[in-house]
Structure 1
């Protein structure tokens, strides 16, 4: 439609045919706007060909002027039209320059949450009407002049044209003047030194002792689970915690927390923070920017990871840079022992996995007539060396076999699936298509109607959860301007809403539909609680599922001998192993349909303690004790160093 509209414009302008031109112009406007809403990727590709929105509007205007000339419009009207459209585009350019200037001035060296920044004189962000999608709004103001000129050409009444001209230029000029006022306000943004003075004053009042530090170059909400999984654990520590992020995108995807949060993109700015009171820094991931934090000599640095798995990343030699490595259980310790020169055994501490508390035990769920199988393959990894995904070699075959066994399927792929490999992306889509087709075949109409009935409430809960997570509207400066100390602990409301959302979601989908889970809700652990058995690859998902004591399956996509596979991967000790052709699948599902026939059950109980540690004391108690012990150790060493320095000065 867009192409047809623009091809028709010069044809109707040269004929000339007013009615055809009006229709073609309307089609081009509507198609242009629809593409921006429904297919922004295509619009970006047009821009790479220099066919951006501004050029498309300019072409439409030139064709309108050509039509007016062909229809023998007066010279005065043509000159006025040319002047008006030129002024309009000039004002749009000026508005764009002001917009960029305001945005640049409102960029702070850091973004803050849960610290009182009211003393910092940060001006209010310009209204969304002026700031968001401004180019689309401004360019569309030419519609008034276009319509006025077309009506004037059709009726011979020039007042329509001049009226449209006046409205286009007048409204655009008012918009420019309004934004100019916002620019003058933005000039009063506090300077860098004042920002850090206030932040350091707030930090001194809070006195952080523990920091969770996170950086990831390609950060998005898909990576923020590495931080979000630790938030509740941090909030329950005896020591005062702080969260430090390095990418602005990660700040926007942070979950609910009452802890102070700092997002500091630049290393030089990070060095301006007074973090001398920190005693322990926790790292959930290995990243190059970790070195910017490792420079703090007063603190002890600990790699805690974001999951316990048999992948190479869980025993990386880079871990030598940390003072300690905290693992879930003895399996993690043994994994590092197998990597020579990685880290001394004394520096490894077993702290459990505090995040696993929401996972219900095997005995708490009885399988129904159609067992629920959760398929959670990992992604293809950064390279073929760490590629453990089963999607490519056997994903579609597995789903086809499961559907033949009359089970319900919860499919939750890794959020990065298909990011590197087109084959993985194709396999992922094929699995989704199979599940969708089976849902259609079963004609789960009731489930659809039930879901429609509760969808408004689900949306309402999601909106409230976003509010509790602190995802306010506005730019980074606006969020910092509104940052305050939490007035009360809203964890109770957060958990209540989460529980209600999940209850409504599962109940509304009925007992017949398969699920493809791609969003953050329902959570991974809530999917665990719905499943009777897990099918997965070598990943931390398996280690976490072990906490449920439910049957689980590891994919052996390369058909290694069972003994060799179990020797290579710790979590295989309590797993059923599934060959590439899935010939063992009916036998494996028997462990769910007939729980008494579950030969791997005793192995899972043994493996749970080996991988995740003992049930008592609890993981939270062990993690908290480890933080306290290391903080005390660091403080004692720091006091000893200062005493030694004072003695040296006296001797000198």
Structure 2
């Protein structure tokens, strides 16, 4: 318990990282001791340990490094402490005054040049910030200088600090040998290499002074948009964007690519641009509201919003277009029937359940504003009849996250997650655990439960002797990494800063979609084969996808969320957690998706009975309920969701065009 608390306080994970932290502290504490003794051998060892362990912790325990920074123990300060201790050692070993003065001058000059380099680097980075970032438009006409080489530009502080190594090593070697030539050689190398770096970066600053002006950038982007003539825009903004949020956009990309009308994607946060999936659709990221107004979007007739965010008002003010809330999932949560949705011209839902959900929000949403379009994203989900069971029942546990406040906390992780996993492991099943990407971001209790579940699954894998599966998974990693690199390339995840992204932007080959699908299919096939039929899995990354986890599962256990509504498409058995132990009838009345679900109480007493529906499918009493619920929640199978969504876009675009044609022409100025 003491070790766990210590790990939590130091922001490290596990005994190994804790050992490295203690080793770093001990090495730094030893420096003044060896300097004052004096003992150059002990000092050399302690100094080497501080160099190596500091570097390792930056990779393995970034949380601990950030904690040091908050305590003002920054990396430059740690390097400065080591330098001061070295000078103290040299003084105690009676180094000549000339050597001490030269050493002090060299280390001072090194730090001064490092400060100059940092200032120039910031100046280069600021000048390379463009008002927007684009993808899939030909921006070769803009005279954007190439990004400085990675050697000069990326992680520059780490590289500059380590340039003191020749001087440090030379002085220690001189103290050991009693000859001062190694010290002067080391001093010269440190000064020469640092000065060369500063000169090289100053040359890069000279180049970026020719960056195009804001007006020039917008003129070129608008020229490209005018040639493309977008008619439908998907608009996305989120206050705290990361890869965890971009699923809200990425889930719609393939649907947009199949529209009859020409789509464009508009993003508002630079971070979101980096996490966009593969697409040939033009993408424009415009962080500032004033700059958004500079885009030429006069031909856009329909704007689609996958999320409710404050910055949506910047696009909603475009009166010529029709604005539609499409959401990022269909669930019984408040977000799927929010009164805020009244600001949109239409609200598109999957099926009748979505319409009824909004109708329960009295005096807010007009029934005529709701359009049922299905869920086009669900086509990769295989039906129950197409599923081949493995030697053990596969239980997918996909809890939702804790929400923005305790008032709307729907996650089962905190009240019953650990207990449920313990009982599942006693039932001899295979567990695939895929928590929501935001799990633990707000609640420490949720994070603790998530960690405990992972540990339980890991321990049970070891108990089962899953060494063979571990070896297979390790053997598959190189190929999976190779495929992932190609997928990133196809997705347009280029190296470089935003200016480099714009500089390299070109109109893509649409045929890349076929290779993308083939590679993703190969990635999933290799991954699941390597996992074996009995090994538990913890899924934390984008791949494997949620829907591929659906296809592996025999049964789902989840909370009230869009995950359940999507899983209904498979017609497989599923379980809703009833953490507050509401009466079954009351729970089913409150949550539409409970209509075809087994309900699991907080003590998980019903778990064995529920699993029997998988072990003996002919005894499953919820089969007919799931079929009925599927059409109610997701709409009919024919016409397909893709066809219905496309028809809805066409109809609303035609309506917008007709209304625009009816508008009286503005009076000419006298």
Aligned with 1:566 (options 588, 591, 594): 588
Tell me which residue corresponds to 1:487: 509
Cα distance in 2 between the residues matched to 1:311 and 1:342:
17
Aligned with 1:172 (options 186, 194, 207): 194
Using the TM superposition, name which of 357-366 and 17-26 deviates more: 17-26
The number of equivalent residue pairs is: 648
Tell me which residue corresponds to 1:102: 124
Segments of structure 1 that go 5 or more residues without pairing to the other structure are none
The question of 1:81 aligning with 2:103 is answered yes
Tell me which residue corresponds to 1:137: 159
Aligned with 1:474 (options 466, 490, 496): 496
Tell me which residue corresponds to 2:56: 34
Cα distance in 2 between the residues matched to 1:211 and 1:454:
40
Using the TM superposition, name which of 227-236 and 18-27 deviates more: 18-27
User: Residue 596 of structure 1: SS of its match in structure 2?
Assistant: helix
Q: What is the CA-CA distance between 1:649 and the residue it aligns to?
A: 6.9
Tell me which residue corresponds to 2:470: 448
* Aligned 8 A contact 1:367 1:593 in 2: no
User: Residue 665 of structure 2: SS of its match in structure 1?
Assistant: helix
The question of 1:427 aligning with 2:449 is answered yes
Aligned with 1:395 (options 410, 417, 436): 417
Cα distance in 2 between the residues matched to 1:575 and 1:153:
76
Aligned with 2:384 (options 342, 352, 362): 362
Query: Over residues 347-366 of structure 1, what are the superposed CA-to-partner deviations in whole Å (9 max), with x where a residue is unaligned?
Result: 10000000000000010013
User: Residue 553 of structure 1: SS of its match in structure 2?
Assistant: strand
User: Residue 619 of structure 2: SS of its match in structure 1?
Assistant: coil
Cα distance in 1 between the residues matched to 2:195 and 2:188:
10
Aligned with 1:623 (options 645, 662, 667): 645
* Aligned 8 A contact 1:329 1:613 in 2: yes
Tell me which residue corresponds to 1:65: 87
Query: Over residues 572-630 of structure 1, what are the superposed CA-to-partner deviations in whole Å (9 max), with x where a residue is unaligned?
Result: 11111111111111221111111111111111111111100000000000000000000
Cα distance in 1 between the residues matched to 2:343 and 2:626:
34
Cα distance in 2 between the residues matched to 1:518 and 1:172:
41
Aligned with 2:665 (options 640, 645, 648): 645
Matches within 5 A, 1:172-571: 172-571=194-593
Using the TM superposition, name which of 307-316 and 422-431 deviates more: 422-431
The question of 1:8 aligning with 2:23 is answered no
User: Residue 307 of structure 1: SS of its match in structure 2?
Assistant: coil
Cα distance in 1 between the residues matched to 2:391 and 2:164:
63
Cα distance in 2 between the residues matched to 1:30 and 1:617:
62
* Aligned 8 A contact 2:391 2:533 in 1: no
Matches within 5 A, 1:18-33: 18-33=40-55
* Aligned 8 A contact 2:391 2:534 in 1: no
* Aligned 8 A contact 1:528 1:545 in 2: yes
TM-score, normalised to structure 1, is 0.98
User: Residue 645 of structure 1: SS of its match in structure 2?
Assistant: coil
Cα distance in 2 between the residues matched to 1:513 and 1:66:
57
Q: What is the CA-CA distance between 1:253 and the residue it aligns to?
A: 0.4
Segments of structure 2 that go 5 or more residues without pairing to the other structure are 1-22
Cα distance in 2 between the residues matched to 1:419 and 1:184:
43
Using the TM superposition, name which of 81-90 and 475-484 deviates more: 81-90
The question of 1:118 aligning with 2:122 is answered no
User: Residue 141 of structure 1: SS of its match in structure 2?
Assistant: helix
TM-score, normalised to structure 2, is 0.95
Tell me which residue corresponds to 2:625: 603
User: Residue 625 of structure 1: SS of its match in structure 2?
Assistant: helix
Cα distance in 2 between the residues matched to 1:360 and 1:14:
71
Tell me which residue corresponds to 2:74: 52
Q: What is the CA-CA distance between 1:458 and the residue it aligns to?
A: 0.7
Q: What is the CA-CA distance between 1:61 and the residue it aligns to?
A: 1.3
Cα distance in 2 between the residues matched to 1:438 and 1:279:
55
Q: What is the CA-CA distance between 1:453 and the residue it aligns to?
A: 2.0
Cα distance in 1 between the residues matched to 2:579 and 2:64:
37
* Aligned 8 A contact 1:367 1:592 in 2: no
Cα distance in 2 between the residues matched to 1:154 and 1:535:
66
Using the TM superposition, name which of 169-178 and 385-394 deviates more: 385-394
Query: Over residues 12-46 of structure 1, what are the superposed CA-to-partner deviations in whole Å (9 max), with x where a residue is unaligned?
Result: 22222222222222122122222222212211211
Cα distance in 2 between the residues matched to 1:81 and 1:580:
68
Cα distance in 2 between the residues matched to 1:449 and 1:7:
41
Query: Over residues 177-214 of structure 1, what are the superposed CA-to-partner deviations in whole Å (9 max), with x where a residue is unaligned?
Result: 00000000011111111111111111101000000000
Cα distance in 1 between the residues matched to 2:75 and 2:391:
56
Q: Where has structure 1 moved over 6 Å in runs of 4 or more?
A: none
Q: What is the CA-CA distance between 1:292 and the residue it aligns to?
A: 0.5
User: Residue 449 of structure 2: SS of its match in structure 1?
Assistant: helix
User: Residue 72 of structure 2: SS of its match in structure 1?
Assistant: coil
